[in-house]
Chain A
Amino acid sequence: MSLFYFVAFLTILFSLLVIFTKNPVYSVLYLIATFFTFTIHYILLNAQFLAVVNFIVYMGAIMVLFLFVLMLMNLNKETEPVKSNLIKIIGVIAGGTLLVTLIGSIHALQTTAASATPNSEIGLVANLGKVLFSEFLLPFELSSLLLLSAMVGAVLLAKKDKRTQNG
């Protein structure tokens, strides 16, 4: 129990640091830390497959991609554009309103605390794989198509436009 609270506290702390740090590189690093805490949450829920995938895909691939692009643009603290204070306060208030609404609506719904028989086995890789490849086969295949289109799109977008350069 106390483990959960500690990890939750860390999650919130790191995510706050993500959005409030001026230096973008530090933001990326804090985000990585946040994802690490997420992984721990998944382990606590016995969703082992998700924990591992989170670790590898998110922290390993996506965050590194972010860092690449940041480095490419050579950003540091001085060139970071800053919004005016008024907008910042409005943003925080809007976010706070959203939070209050969410919490309020959840309170009104009166969800039950826990179900009767939680099955802690479903997070194991073997079980998840069974469900994935039997019930969710079609979405699985389609997601491969999705990744293909993403690759093609990314390459196309990043290509230099030769025609305009040659006149």
Chain B
Amino acid sequence: MDNISATIQVVPLNHYILLSAIIFTIGVVGVLIRRNAIIIFMSIELMLNAVNLLLAAFSAYSGDASGQVFVFFIMALAAAEVAIGLAIIVMVYRNTSSIDINILNRLKW
């Protein structure tokens, strides 16, 4: 454990911020360039996880437990969201036999 806590004193916080930002961006790019609804959903999960990492890092560096509690809640929320989201995707698939998001274009002028 002490070895591990030594990591905290060596790796500056900025590195974690940078890493989190990169993962978040990758998630955003994934949302933008894929047409498969499930892959988009997975990219959203990626974004959530990046934020989780950032919160946990801040929590460790400032000694405040609230960050990790928040991560816990985010995880619970993500689970619920995935359940509902996938249910919706299944419904869409049942009605249109496809999960291409470009099919869903009725909400226009």
A binds B: yes
Residues of A participating in the B interface, judged by any CB pair closer than 8 Å: 1, 3-4, 8, 11-12, 15-16, 18-19, 24, 27-28, 31, 34-35, 38, 41-47, 49-50, 53-54, 57-58, 61-62, 65-66, 69-70, 72-73, 75, 80-83, 87-88, 90-92, 94-96, 98-99, 102-103, 106, 111-115, 117-120, 122-123, 127-128, 131-132, 135-136, 139, 143, 146-147, 149-151, 153-154, 157-158
Give B64 Cβ to nearest chain A Cβ, in Å. 8
- Nearest B residue to A16 via CB reads B26
Q: Is B105 an interface residue (CB 8 A)?
A: no
Specify the main secondary structure of chain B where it touches its partner: helix
Note all chain A residues with C-beta closer than 8 A to B5: 46, 118, 120
Give B104 Cβ to nearest chain A Cβ, in Å. 12
Size of B's binding interface in residues, CB under 8 A: 76
Residues of B participating in the A interface, judged by any CB pair closer than 8 Å: 1, 4-5, 7-15, 17-19, 21-30, 32-36, 38-39, 41-43, 45-46, 49, 52-53, 56-57, 59-66, 68-69, 71-73, 75-84, 86-91, 93, 98-100, 102
When the two chains form their complex, are residues B60 and A61 in contact, meaning their CB atoms are under 8 A apart?
A: no
Among A4, A19, A114, A154, which residue has the most Cβ atoms of chain B within 10 A?
Answer: A19
Note all chain A residues with C-beta closer than 8 A to B82: 62, 65-66
Specify the main secondary structure of chain A where it touches its partner: helix
When the two chains form their complex, are residues A41 and B83 in contact, meaning their CB atoms are under 8 A apart?
A: no
When the two chains form their complex, are residues B33 and A88 in contact, meaning their CB atoms are under 8 A apart?
A: yes
State which of A73, A83, A154 has its C-beta within 8 Å of the C-beta of B34. Answer: A83
When the two chains form their complex, are residues B86 and A95 in contact, meaning their CB atoms are under 8 A apart?
A: no
Q: A46-B60, A69-B90 are in contact. Are A24 and B26 (CB under 8 A)?
A: no
State which of B7, B56, B60 has its C-beta within 8 Å of the C-beta of A3. Answer: B7
When the two chains form their complex, are residues A111 and B17 in contact, meaning their CB atoms are under 8 A apart?
A: yes
The 4 closest A-B pairs by CB, nearest first: A91-B32, A150-B80, A19-B30, A95-B29
